[in-house]
Amino acid sequence: MTRSWTPGTPDADLSAIARTPRLVVALDFDGVASPLVAEPMAARALPEVAAQASRLASLPDTLVAYVSGRSLHDLREITEHDDASPIVLAGSHGAQYWYPGIGELDSGSEQTAGETREALWEAARPIIDRYEGAEFEPKTFGMGVHTRRADRETEAQVFAEIDALVAERFPGLRRRAGHRVLEFSSRTEGKDAAMAALREHFDATGILFAGDDVTDEDAMRVLQDDDLGVRVGPGESAAALRVDSPQQIAQLLETLADERAARQE
């Protein structure tokens, strides 16, 4: 059962993850590090979230990662990420990775994916363009349709038409629906794959993962006994804790950093 966390109050699970020997802090970006915004590429981490993420990344045996459905190229832009950053990026729901000191890993199958992707873009764009407030997002392995500027009736119509197109012409693509977004990808990885990859790469003894959307539940469901899931906002979740907003994520990360730093002194 997911329980609400009140900033400033002690929590046994949060204290336990702060004590784990080798910690990965994995954050979804949109709706977690950044508030949801109408223009997807205008998203930026709240300064207080970015500050606590940097603080955690500076602690011994503590790794921080942004885990997002965004393509890696777009994720690097919205996180204002450069090659000197200590923060890991996992893009395309766990199909793409950038690691400090290593750089971008070869995600594989991009040529084949590109052929399907180009055909999908060509077919979908005229549909999306007909609907006011709907926005096309190109992705490395597919596309997204954002409707944060559209009314709900328009959203239902454009999603239905895109669903029909994909079912008829691109039935092998993986479908994901989130907050005012519909996505299709030629890759099947979900954020559960990202949790496994980060755990193995860093030999993590514990993972704290925070997410706000349906796609984040793929990650929540594979967290282990020594991990901690945090849900941001409403909705059913496998997470242990719930906070209300990205602002409260900043407070939770600050509490985590305070406890972890004190343990390491």
Strands (E), 114-164: 135-139, 142-146
* Cα–Cα distances in angstroms (integers) from residue 120 to residues 69, 124, 125, 137, 163, in the given order: 18, 6, 8, 12, 12
Q: What is the CATH number of the domain that holds 91?
A: 3.40.50.1000
Residues 179 and 72 in one domain: no
- In the prediction, which pLDDT does 158 show? 98
- What mean pLDDT do residues 215-221 have? 97
Q: What is the DSSP letter of 215?
A: G
- Give residue-wise pLDDT tens across range 175-205: 999 889 999 999 989 999 999 999 999 999 9
- In the prediction, which pLDDT does 110 show? 53
Residues 13 and 97 in one domain: yes
- Give residue-wise pLDDT tens across range 80-90: 999 999 999 99
Residues 97 and 9 in one domain: yes
Last residue in a domain, options 144, 162, 185: 185
Percent above pLDDT 90 for the chain? 90
Residue in the structure block whose two tokens are 């930026």: 44
Last residue in a domain, options 185, 205, 236: 185
Last residue in a domain, options 161, 185, 209: 185
Chain-centre distance for alpha carbon 260: 24
Domain around 133:
110-185
Residues 94 and 211 in one domain: yes
Q: What is the CATH number of the domain that holds 137?
A: 3.30.70
How far apart are alpha carbons 69 and 211 in whole angstroms? 11
Confidence of residue 116 (pLDDT cuts 50, 70, 90): confident
* Average pLDDT, rounded, for the chain: 95
Residues 15 and 125 in one domain: no
User: How many domains would you assign to the chain?
Assistant: 2
